[in-house]
Amino acid sequence: MGSEYYQSSSAVRTEQRLFQRVFSWMFAGLLLTGIIAYFLSSNTDIVSFIAFNPAVFWGAVIVEFIVVIALQALIGKLSPFAATFMFFLYAALNGITFSLLLAYVDINTVGSAFVITAGMFGTSAALGYITKLDLSRMGAIFIMFVWGIILASVVNIFFLHISGFDLILSYIIVALFCGITAYDIQNIKKLNASMHSMDEGTATKVAIFGALMLYIDFIAILQSLINILRR
């Protein structure tokens, strides 16, 4: 009985440490994004340069995709330093792209969107943590919807130019990424079972990978809510 209690307590402590590290990395990434976006958006020359040079904006977006895909594919082979660098590189690039949105949106709208995002993200994360339902089957569906939204956005930007289409997508993205947040939290929770056999470097990479997933979820919800509220 004592041995089982000790093992259970040890597993809980390990899980708590994992989530503490995940959320610490995530908040550090969000802070970096916010600082870069704020200072860039405050400089009208930089904002004008990004706005009138689409190659800069889309170049940053493309590099973001490359970094995320590379980090997902190579997380097992990367050193902890390389994984950390790639995570903060992604957060910095997101600050550049986010600055363009921040420059043209009222700060009160951004603040309201951030508060609502924090509430929705926290609720979704809590549901993902406490639910007994296995959300792994939803993973493929979530990924399919994300790629569908990306494709639809690109087609609308370059070909269709349908008025209000981006607003509809924003509502869909908010709902979708709330579900993905719960899914990601559950996946991170499952990693706790193998944390006992991990060395410190591997544990750091796992925490960074989890932070990246949650960071993406938070930013997706935030950007979509800003687009909704500014209408």
Span 113-163, pLDDT tens digits: 999 999 999 999 999 999 888 787 777 788 888 888 878 877 777 776 677
Mean pLDDT taken over the chain: 85
Euclidean distance between CA atoms 17 and 220, whole angstroms:
26
Distances (CA, A) of 193 to 8, 99, 104, 189: 11, 39, 46, 8
- Record the tokens describing residue 125, joined without a space: 């994360």
DSSP per residue, 55-95:
HHHHHHHHHHHHHHHHHHHHTTTS-HHHHHHHHHHHHHHHH
Percent of the residues in the chain that have a pLDDT greater than 90, as a whole number: 41
Over the stretch 151-199, which tens digit does the pLDDT of each residue have? 887 777 777 667 777 888 889 999 999 999 999 999 888 876 665 566 7
Confidence of residue 6 (pLDDT cuts 50, 70, 90): very low
pLDDT given at position 194: 61
Euclidean distance between CA atoms 231 and 228, whole angstroms:
6
Over the stretch 22-68, which tens digit does the pLDDT of each residue have? 999 999 999 999 999 999 998 889 888 888 888 888 898 899 999 99
